[in-house]
């Protein structure tokens, strides 16, 4: 009977059923499998664990994964805000089409994106042959793949904020003598900042774990173009289960922290939209 | 709400001349945005179709009607048919529990639902190997009873369930939160039972959001590569999904065939985008009607 | 307290339910395969460059088996990097037979208890019905004038080879280079390491599997030279035209022995031991050897090898057993974490 204290009284039915099913499903599909990472890692000593997750090759993969994801998410913030701005504020032919196309990276399988980008940016590819430097099989190629998959996040976060933005504020700013650039920096930018930051964090989190689009274009060289998710697989292929799960545990903790951060950011964004 | 973008609703437009940029600035900005999109979206998409037809229509049809390609298509459809309804059901149940009731641990639950968005697909695959692999927790039991979970269809389904798990729930939670419970409460007070209330009141209200979540879930289930690649075993004609089949063709020098299958998947992606836009439009329409009422 | 208990019992309960749910599925699917006598299914888990070989051999064997035993046999194939494939078999990929790139990977499977430790003595010639070697594939006209391993250590040469950590073929590549340096420097280990190090510093792309490396070199046009399996090098020339590439045979290379074995525990469970053994033995038959030679593997059968002598360049070949003390020793010394490859490749 104590159970009643679990929730506030509501006349709606189905609490036990829906929450029960939800908890059951999450435990089965998410918690139980994920706990395996920690159970397997727990069999290592702290010393072994630390050595495994900080060996030079692993450190190099963190640097690459974080660096490329950060670069890709940053590119996406700049162009994402630009695209959102253009889509909300200006009209031009084909705008509806472009708007719909922005979500392509969500709908296109990552492996398909991977082979398409590799074909374009390889030295013999359509784009690659005109570039004086190499793109495919370098960190630059990885950044391009990660930019592709993270492209919609910032656009779709910033767009609704710009749409609900009260133009009166801008008008007031203009009347008070601010230039257009000043208005943008002082009035508009602070308004879209939380949304852009959330978009950045989403794109970053997605890029950090991405595998399908990257493996084709990366070249996968240890110390140079080997991303952390690939290193987990490589460890497995060397029959090093402990090493693979240890690195996976580190990634998992990072994902979790990012997720909490994103939820915090999103709460901030929503508050902004609401007010 | 990691990794997902809420349903876009049409915004009311206002126009005012004092707050826009000179035409040349507008043109420069539009060009920059379009150039970026052309380079990153249009060009890869075009490349897929051109590469697919490079060796002619015969090679194209032969590639997509090859027995291995057909079995990959069938397996992908089977995975979709199994995972999407399950995750849709879960999404509705989770959204109902979270938005209609207050209970302890709710925010933890919401964070857990988001978790698969933030986790690398490789880890999503790895956990099932640790769980069901021969060296894993249930390894010996499974081997003795000749039950194949990973490197077989159940493993592929589980990994896909894992990565597509949040899509529907994530779409419904904000929607149902915004709608509140007043209509359901009224219906119950008027004597309808719980099930009837859900079918007649809740479902019509969340129809478009639900459909939208299902479409996103569907697109990801079709295209998942990393997680499925870890648990597949790559047995041709048996455990290769469409994305894995593309990888195999690509590694066998059959580039045109790889791009032919890739073009099929791109068409699916484009259909997804069209459906998504239709739904957004319908949902926006509904919003406006409500505004009028 | 009570509440806590219920919370933690969830995972256990769900696991039990999941198992029973999946149990039904799995059994019904597999029951068909092992139950019937008229048809039987085999899963051959192999490494990357054997796709074309086994495509043809599987057909030949199915016809042969049908004739001899009146039983239809369907052979499923799975290909990937040798290490990845070995890992999958250990994790439960139900392979009746494995045909991998090196004995070390099958040793790992045997360590996991899936087949007997002495597996390599069960069939002739170290359980390797065909052998291969490592050659250098260069672009037509050999613009960088690459003739031997020395030329790979020069500064302006860009090399493609797969990663020895994950690819069986790449381990043979590494050992072949090592064997050459060993003779050149009369066994001076420091000099050997610096020579092999020079070669690996020239590596432009280190793919995880042999097939990926070939694609990078052949299709992407990266690198001056690909260190590759002989059969893979021939295949590239056949698939993509001999006006584009040339094979260079180095003065010393290694006798690469890709072994085959029945995975006892799986075959026994599936009731396929007999057909699995027949399958591997047929690789030694005249027809099997002929097919191997056609796909540029060097057959063990002397007569058939003589027939195809034209296509295989003569190379001075060292062997893993005589020159490197067998696979487990070579693996521990060169490829385990902290081995010579790490010393050479990972800057400390």
User: Distance between CA atoms of C343 and C348, rounded to whole angstroms?
Assistant: 8
Residues of C in contact with A123 (CB under 8 A): 220-222
- Nearest of B112, B169, B174 to residue A270 by alpha carbon: B174
Domain spans of chain A, in order of start: 65-274
Order of strands, sheet of C39-47, starting from the edge strand that comes earlier in the sequence: C72-80, C39-47, C97-99, C260-262
Q: Do strands C203-205 and C260-262 pair parallel, antiparallel, or not at all (unpaired)?
A: unpaired
Residue C344 has pLDDT above 70, yes or no: yes
pLDDT digits (tens, 9 = 90+) for C124-167: 999 999 999 999 999 999 999 999 999 999 989 999 998 888 78
Structural contact between residues B279 and B216, judged by C-beta atoms closer than 8 angstroms: no
Q: Do strands C72-80 and C39-47 pair parallel, antiparallel, or not at all (unpaired)?
A: parallel
pLDDT digits (tens, 9 = 90+) for C48-66: 889 889 999 999 999 999 9
Nearby residues of C164 by Cβ (< 8 Å), 6 or more positions away = C170, C171, C173, C174, C334, C335, C341
Q: Is the domain defined by B57-291 classed in CATH 3.30.70.1350?
A: no
DSSP state of C155: T
Q: Chains with 3 or more CB pairs closer than 8 angstroms to C?
A: A, B
Is the CB of A102 less than 8 angstroms away from the CB of B225?
A: no
What is the average pLDDT across C219-226?
Answer: 86
Domain spans of chain B, in order of start: 57-291
What is the average pLDDT across C28-40?
Answer: 52
Residues of B in contact with C34 (CB under 8 A): 146
Tokens for A155? 């656009």
Nearby residues of C97 by Cβ (< 8 Å), 6 or more positions away = C42, C43, C44, C45, C260, C261, C262, C263, C267, C276, C279, C280
Superfamily of domain C40-128+258-310: Periplasmic binding protein-like II (3.40.190.10)
What is the average pLDDT across C13-18?
Answer: 41
The better pLDDT of the pair A3, B69 is held by B69
**DSSP-based three-state secondary structure for A236:** helix
Q: Cα separations (Å) of A261 from A34, A202, B2, B118, C199?
A: 20, 10, 10, 11, 46
Same fold for the domain at C40-128+258-310 and the one at C132-256+315-344?
yes
Q: What are phi and psi of B165, to 5 degrees?
A: -60, -40
Q: Cα separations (Å) of C225 from A62, C151, C153, C209, C213?
A: 30, 10, 12, 16, 11
Domain A65-274 top-level CATH class: mainly alpha
Nearby residues of C28 by Cβ (< 8 Å), 6 or more positions away = none
CA distance B274 to chain A (A): 8
User: Distance between CA atoms of A212 and A235, rounded to whole angstroms?
Assistant: 18
Residue C73 has pLDDT above 60, yes or no: yes
With left for phi above 0 and alpha for psi between -120 and 50, is residue B7 left, alpha or beta? beta
How high is the pLDDT of residue A9?
62
- B139 interfacial to chain C (CB closer than 8 Å): yes
Q: Cα separations (Å) of C286 from B174, C251, C290, C311?
A: 69, 30, 6, 18
Residue of chain A nearest B137, judged by CA positions:
A36
Nearby residues of C239 by Cβ (< 8 Å), 6 or more positions away = B253
pLDDT digits (tens, 9 = 90+) for B212-242: 899 999 999 999 999 999 999 888 888 999 9
CA distance C134 to chain A (A): 21
- A28 interfacial to chain C (CB closer than 8 Å): yes
The better pLDDT of the pair A138, B286 is held by A138
- When pLDDT is cut at 50, 70 and 90, the band that residue C205 belongs to is confident
pLDDT digits (tens, 9 = 90+) for A128-169: 888 888 888 889 999 999 999 999 999 999 998 898 887 778
The better pLDDT of the pair B206, C210 is held by B206
Residues of A in contact with C347 (CB under 8 A): 56, 223
Residue of chain C nearest A136, judged by CA positions:
C220
| pLDDT over 70 percentage in chain A | 95
Nearest to A234 among C10, C108, C166 (CB): C166
- When pLDDT is cut at 50, 70 and 90, the band that residue B7 belongs to is low
Q: What is the pTM of this model?
A: 0.86
DSSP state of A185: I
What is the average pLDDT across B124-138?
Answer: 88
pLDDT digits (tens, 9 = 90+) for B204-218: 989 989 998 999 999
CATH code matching the domain that covers C132-256+315-344, chosen among 3.60.150.10, 3.60.21.10, 3.30.390.50, 3.40.190.10:
3.40.190.10
**Cα torsion angle, C235, C236, C242, C248, sign:** negative
User: Distance between CA atoms of A15 and B234, rounded to whole angstroms?
Assistant: 43
Residue of chain B nearest A236, judged by CA positions:
B126
- Direct distance between the N- and C-terminal alpha carbons of chain B, in angstroms, rounded to an integer: 31
Structural contact between residues B122 and C64, judged by C-beta atoms closer than 8 angstroms: no
User: Distance between CA atoms of B272 and B278, rounded to whole angstroms?
Assistant: 10
- B78 interfacial to chain C (CB closer than 8 Å): no
Is the CB of A104 less than 8 angstroms away from the CB of B269?
A: yes
User: Distance between CA atoms of B270 and B264, rounded to whole angstroms?
Assistant: 10
Is the CB of C221 less than 8 angstroms away from the CB of A122?
A: yes
Residue of chain A nearest C83, judged by CA positions:
A237
Domain spans of chain C, in order of start: 40-128+258-310, 132-256+315-344
Interface of A with C in 165-194 (CB under 8 A): none
Residue of chain C nearest B252, judged by CA positions:
C211
Q: Which of B86, B140, B146 to mutate to test the interface with C (most CBs of C within 10 A)?
A: B146
């Amino acid at each position: 009977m104590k159970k009643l204290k679990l929730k506030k009284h509501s006349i709606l039915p189905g609490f036990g059923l829906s929450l029960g099913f939800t908890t059951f499903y999450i435990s089965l599909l998410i918690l139980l499998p994920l706990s395996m990472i920690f159970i397997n890692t727990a069999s290592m000593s702290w010393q072994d664990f630390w050595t495994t997750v900080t060996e030079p090759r692993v450190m190099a993969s963190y640097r690459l994964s974080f660096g490329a994801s950060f670069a890709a998410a940053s590119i996406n913030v700049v162009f994402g805000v630009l695209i959102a701005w253009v889509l909300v504020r200006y009209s031009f032919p084909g705008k509806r089409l472009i708007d719909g196309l922005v979500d392509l990276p969500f709908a296109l399988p990552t492996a398909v994106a991977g082979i398409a980008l590799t074909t374009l940016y390889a030295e013999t590819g359509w784009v690659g042959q005109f570039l004086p430097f190499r793109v495919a099989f370098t960190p630059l190629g990885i950044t391009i793949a990660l930019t592709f998959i993270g492209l919609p996040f910032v656009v779709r976060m910033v767009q609704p904020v710009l749409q609900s933005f009260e133009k009166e504020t801008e008008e007031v700013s203009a009347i008070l003598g601010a230039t257009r650039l000043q208005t943008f920096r002082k009035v508009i930018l602070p308004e879209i900042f939380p949304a852009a930051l959330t978009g950045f964090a989403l794109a970053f989190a997605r890029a950090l774990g991405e595998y399908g689009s990257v493996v084709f274009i990366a070249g996968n060289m240890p110390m140079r173009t080997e991303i952390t998710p690939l290193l987990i697989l490589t460890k497995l292929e060397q029959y090093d289960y402990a090493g693979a799960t240890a690195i996976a545990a580190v990634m998992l903790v990072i994902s979790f922290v990012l997720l909490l951060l994103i939820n915090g950011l999103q709460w901030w964004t929503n508050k902004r939209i609401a007010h | 709400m990691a990794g997902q973008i809420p349903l876009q609703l049409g915004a009311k437009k206002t126009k005012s001349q004092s707050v826009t940029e000179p035409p040349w600035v507008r043109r420069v900005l539009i060009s920059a945005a379009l150039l970026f999109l052309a380079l990153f979206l249009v060009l890869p998409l075009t490349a897929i179709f051109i590469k697919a037809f490079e060796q002619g229509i015969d090679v194209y049809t032969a590639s997509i009607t090859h027995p291995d390609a057909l079995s990959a298509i069938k397996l992908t459809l089977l995975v979709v048919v199994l995972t999407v309804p399950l995750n849709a059901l879960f999404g509705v149940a989770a959204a109902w529990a979270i938005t209609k009731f207050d209970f302890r641990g709710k925010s933890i639950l919401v964070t857990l639902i988001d978790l698969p968005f933030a986790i690398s697909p490789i880890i999503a695959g790895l956990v099932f190997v640790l769980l069901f692999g021969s060296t894993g927790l249930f390894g010996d039991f499974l081997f003795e009873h000749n039950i194949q979970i990973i490197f077989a269809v159940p493993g592929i389904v589980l990994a896909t369930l894992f990565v597509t798990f949040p899509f529907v729930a994530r779409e419904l939670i904000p929607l149902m939160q915004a709608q509140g419970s007043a209509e359901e409460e009224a219906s119950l007070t008027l004597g309808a039972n719980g099930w009837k209330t859900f079918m007649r009141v809740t479902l019509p209200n969340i129809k478009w959001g639900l459909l939208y979540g299902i479409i996103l879930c569907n697109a990801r289930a079709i295209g998942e590569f990393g997680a499925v690649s870890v648990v597949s075993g790559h047995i041709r004609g048996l455990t290769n999904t469409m994305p894995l089949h593309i990888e195999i063709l690509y590694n066998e020098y059959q580039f045109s065939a790889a791009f032919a299958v890739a073009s099929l998947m791109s068409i699916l992606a484009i259909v997804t985008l069209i459906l998504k836009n239709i739904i957004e439009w319908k949902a926006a329409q509904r919003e406006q009607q409500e505004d009028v009422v | 307290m009570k509440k806590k208990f219920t919370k933690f019992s969830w995972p256990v309960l769900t696991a039990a339910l999941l198992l029973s749910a999946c149990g039904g599925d799995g059994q019904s699917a597999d029951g068909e395969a092992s139950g019937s006598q008229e048809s039987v299914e085999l899963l051959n888990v192999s490494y990357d460059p054997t796709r074309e070989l086994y495509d043809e051999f599987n057909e030949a064997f199915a016809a042969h088996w049908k004739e001899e035993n009146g039983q239809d046999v369907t052979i499923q194939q799975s290909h990937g990097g040798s290490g990845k494939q070995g890992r999958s078999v250990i994790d439960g990929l139900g392979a009746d037979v494995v045909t991998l790139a090196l004995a070390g990977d099958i040793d790992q499977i045997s360590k996991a208890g899936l087949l007997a430790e002495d597996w390599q003595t069960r069939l002739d010639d170290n359980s390797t019905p065909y052998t291969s070697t490592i050659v250098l594939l260069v672009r037509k006209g050999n613009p960088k004038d690459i003739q031997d391993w020395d030329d790979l250590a020069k500064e302006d040469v860009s090399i493609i080879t797969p990663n020895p950590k994950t690819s069986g073929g790449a381990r043979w590549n590494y050992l072949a280079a090592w064997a050459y340096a060993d003779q050149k420097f009369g066994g001076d280990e420091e000099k050997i390491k610096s020579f092999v190090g020079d070669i690996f510093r020239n590596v432009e792309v280190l793919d995880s599997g042999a097939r990926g490396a070939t694609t990078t070199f052949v299709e992407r046009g990266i690198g001056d030279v690909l260190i590759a399996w002989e059969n893979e090098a021939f295949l590239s020339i056949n698939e993509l035209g001999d006006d584009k590439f040339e094979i260079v045979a180095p003065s010393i290379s290694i006798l690469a022995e890709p072994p085959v074995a029945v995975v006892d525990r799986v075959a026994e469970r599936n009731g396929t031991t007999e057909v699995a053994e027949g399958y591997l033995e047929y690789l030694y038959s005249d027809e099997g050897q002929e097919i191997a030679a056609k796909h540029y593997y060097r057959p063990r059968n002397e007569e058939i090898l003589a027939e195809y002598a034209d296509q295989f360049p003569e190379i001075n070949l060292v062997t893993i057993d005589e020159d490197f003390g067998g696979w487990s020793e070579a693996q521990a010394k060169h490829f385990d974490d902290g081995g010579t490859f790490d010393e050479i490749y990972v800057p400390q």
